[in-house]
Amino acid sequence: MNTEPEPYDVVVLGGGPTGENLADRTRAAGLSTAVVESELVGGECSYWACMPSKALLRPGAALAAAQAVAGSREAVTGALDAAAVLARRDAFASHWKDDGQVSWLESIGAVLVRGEGRLDGPRRVVVRTPDGGERVLTARHAVAVCTGSRALLPSDVPGLAEAAPWTSREATSSPVVPRRLVVVGGGVVGVEMAAAWQALGSRVTLLVRGAGLLPRMEPFAGELVAAGLTEAGVIIHTGVSVAAVEREDGVVTLRLDSGEGLEAEEVLYATGRAPRTEGLGLATVGLRDGSWLEVDDSCRVRGVEGDWLFAAGDVNHRALLTHQGKYQARIAGAAIGALARGRALDTAPWGAHVATADVAAVPQVVFTEPEAASVGLTAAAAERAGLRFRVVDYDLAQVAGASLQADDYRGRARMIVDEERGTVAGVTFVGPGAGELLHAATVAVTGQVPLARLWHAVPSYPTVSEIWLRLLETYRDSE
C-alpha cells in the first residue's frame, strides 16, 4: 500500500457544484488542486436535487400554462406522458454517470481523487480508495470542505428505518410512478415533490406538522401554494405527526398521532438536512465530527488555527442552496488564492473575498404551481431584526402582463421597505412564472437601491415586471 504523501496547493473534499467552483477559482489562481469525491462528480444538485427535480416539475408547469389560456387549452386534452417525463429526467441527470463532469474537472487542470476523504491533522487528508487502499494528500495552502448535506430522518418514529422511506434522492430518481405517495414535510422539497408526482399520476397526500406550508416564507406564499396543490388533487393535512410506520407486502402504513391510518406504495420524508461531516476526521483538528462548520465571511472555519481550513456550501449552514454554495465557493477560492500570495483579504476589489449575499439577500424559488419566489427579509424577519419597515402588498393578477399570461391568473407580491434607509429589504412573489421576477428583486435588495432611483427603472409594458411600478405607486400613495 503506497501512502507516500502527494502534495498539492489545495485539497477540496467534495466534488459537487460547490467543490467544482472552488477548484475552478483556485486553478484560475494558478494553484495545484486535488478534488476528492466519494460518489459522482457534480454532486447532489446534478443527480438527486436541482436538475432532476426541476426536470420532473417542468412538464407539469408547461401543461398548466397551456391549459390556463383559451385557445391552447382546447388544444391540450391529455395528461402528462409519465414515461417521457422520466426519460427526460434521466437525461438531465446524465443517467447518473459523471463522465461529462469529470472531463470538465480535468479541463481546468484539477486532479480527481476518487474515494472517502478524511482529515488527518492540519493540511493532511487521507483517502480510502474504492479498491480498499489509501492515498495521503497534503495541502500547502488550504483544505476546503465542500461535502454538502444529507437528508435527515427522524429517529423517534417507530418502524421508519425498516420501512425504507424515500428521501429527496429516491424522490428525484425513482424509475416508476407510485400509485399512492405520502409526503411528510411542508418545506420546499415536500411541496415540490408533491406537485411533481401528483402531476405524473400519483395520488399524493401531504402531511405537515405545522399550521401551513413553506414556513420560512411569507404566510400567503404557503397559502397560495397549498391552494394550487389542492386544486391539482393533493390531499393536505396540517397539524399532524406520524406516530409509526410499517411496510409489508409492498405497502407502507402510517399511523398518525390522531389515530388515523394511511396507506401508500411509498412515503417520502422531507423533514430536514444534516451536514455530511460524520467520519470526516474533524476531531483531528480540534472540531467535532458530524457537526456543521462555522465559518467567517471568507468561509474560513472558526476554531482552527491558521488560514488553511475552509468550508463552503451546505456544510457551513449559512444558506442551504446550490447557487449560494457556488457563490461561497467563488469567495473562498479567491480568498485562498489571495492568501497563497500573501495578500490581505480586505484589499480585493468589489469585496471578492467576503461573502454577504448568503446572509442578507438569499434568493429562492419554489417550483410549484404557482411558483413562490423570495429574497431578503419577510415581514416577520424584519420585525425580529428591529427594523422600522413598511409592508407593501399588491395583487399580481391586476398587472396587465399577468392577465395576459393566464386567463385566471392568481398571485400576490409583497415588498418590505426599510423606512430608515429608503431601500427594499425583502420581496416575495407568488404566481405562475414568478421565479423569473426574482433577480430584479435580488439586485434591488443586494444593491440597496433607493426607492427614489427604482422609480426611474421603467418596466416594459405589458410584462409581469410592471409589478414594480405598482408596488412603488402603492408605497407612494400610502405615505
- Cα-Cα-Cα-Cα torsion 69, 52, 326, 97, nearest 10 degrees, comes to -150
Q: Which three cell numbers stand for residue 12?
A: 477540496
If residue 309 lies in a helix (H) or strand (E), which one and from where to where? strand 309-311
pLDDT digits 0-9 by tens, 311-328: 999 999 999 999 999 999
Q: Which three cell numbers stand for residue 185?
A: 414535510
Grid-cell match 393533493, residue found? 234
Task: List phi, psi (to 5°) of 34.
Answer: -110, 135
- What pLDDT was estimated at residue 351? 59
- What pLDDT was estimated at residue 344? 75
pLDDT digits 0-9 by tens, 405-445: 999 999 999 999 999 999 999 999 999 999 999 999 999 99
The yes-or-no answer to whether 6-42+98-150+274-358 and 161-271 have a common fold is yes
Three-state SS at 301: strand
Neighbours of 307 (CB within 10 A): 17
The contacts of residue 476 (CB under 8 Å, 6+ apart) are none
Q: Which three cell numbers stand for residue 214?
A: 413553506
- What pLDDT was estimated at residue 347? 56
Cα 207 from Cα 71, distance rounded (Å)? 37
Sign of CA pseudo-dihedral 150, 156, 157, 160: positive
Strand partners, 424: 417
- Identify which of 257, 285, 48 has the alpha carbon closest to the alpha carbon of residue 145: 285
Three-state SS at 151: strand
- Laid out side by side, the sheet with 364-366 consists of 364-366, 371-376, 423-431, 412-418, 389-395
pLDDT digits 0-9 by tens, 267-302: 999 999 999 999 999 999 999 999 999 999 999 999
Q: Which three cell numbers stand for residue 342?
A: 500573501
Percent of the chain with pLDDT strictly greater than 70: 98
User: Is 411:224 a contact under the CB 8 Å cutoff?
Assistant: yes
DSSP state of 419: T
Q: Which three cell numbers stand for residue 150?
A: 444529507
User: Is 281:120 a contact under the CB 8 Å cutoff?
Assistant: yes
CATH of segment(s) 6-42+98-150+274-358: 3.50.50.60
CATH topology of domain 161-271: FAD/NAD(P)-binding domain (3.50.50)
- Identify which of 172, 20, 158 has the alpha carbon closest to the alpha carbon of residue 96: 172
**Residuewise pLDDT in 10s, the chain (479 residues):** 557 999 999 999 999 999 999 999 999 999 999 999 999 999 999 999 999 999 999 999 999 999 999 999 999 999 999 999 999 999 999 999 999 999 999 999 999 999 999 999 999 999 999 999 999 999 999 999 999 999 999 999 999 999 999 999 999 999 999 999 999 999 999 999 999 999 999 999 999 999 999 999 999 999 999 999 999 999 999 999 999 999 999 999 999 999 999 999 999 999 999 999 999 999 999 999 999 999 999 999 999 999 999 999 999 999 999 999 999 999 999 999 999 998 877 655 555 788 888 888 999 999 999 999 999 999 999 999 999 999 999 999 999 999 999 999 999 999 999 999 999 999 999 999 999 999 999 999 999 999 999 999 999 999 999 999 999 999 999 87
User: Is 111:8 a contact under the CB 8 Å cutoff?
Assistant: yes
- What pLDDT was estimated at residue 100? 97
Q: Are strands 116-119 and 124-128 parallel, antiparallel or unpaired?
A: antiparallel
Q: Which three cell numbers stand for residue 203?
A: 395520488
Grid-cell match 401531504, residue found? 206
- What pLDDT was estimated at residue 345? 77
Domain ranges of the chain: 6-42+98-150+274-358, 161-271, 370-477
Grid-cell match 415540490, residue found? 192
Q: How far apart are the first and last CA of the chain?
A: 75
Say which CATH class 370-477 falls into. Answer: alpha beta
- Identify which of 11, 38, 20, 7 has the alpha carbon closest to the alpha carbon of residue 308: 11
Neighbours of 153 (CB within 10 A): 15
- What pLDDT was estimated at residue 342? 87
Neighbours of 29 (CB within 10 A): 19
Q: Which three cell numbers stand for residue 377?
A: 427579509
Radius of gyration of the chain (CA): 24
pTM greater than 0.75 (yes/no): yes
- What pLDDT was estimated at residue 360? 83
DSSP state of 364: E
- Identify which of 412, 410, 359, 417 has the alpha carbon closest to the alpha carbon of residue 391: 417
What type of residue sits at position 378?
A: T
